[in-house]
Structure 1
């Protein structure tokens, strides 16, 4: 079953499930009974990597419900230097 989008001129957009390839050009609106015409949209074929999806969902949640922090973030020790070779040329504090 595939989900097809239809737009009613009186109400709003609706989604109806039909077997693939059997969707009609128009269907009656379930709310007002007027004719709803089929709307073509891009298929959702691309898959988002899991890490990107998780970060996006976390950012959306934190916009309305910020995470509660119970302790301060850990800091590096004063003498600790990153292992990256480019940091060797940086001045020391």
Structure 2
């Protein structure tokens, strides 16, 4: 499925998905019902690895719907909280 962009006279842009090569020249706007014409744009040629894509989507979602922590941080055998690896190189007081 490909995402096509249509411009509505009332709203700015509408994104609609169709199978490749089957997008019509105009579609009705879901909000106002006006005829929206297809806007041509440059294709997205870069491919993002699946792991990176999922993490970016997760970070974007957490901006509006923060994830709830269900358990305390993991502890090491000695009872110390597992620290971030970068903090291990900081000087200690």
TM-score range, shorter chain: 0.3 to 0.5
> TM-score, normalised on structure 1?
0.47
> TM-score, normalised on structure 2?
0.47
Which has the greater radius of gyration?
Answer: 1
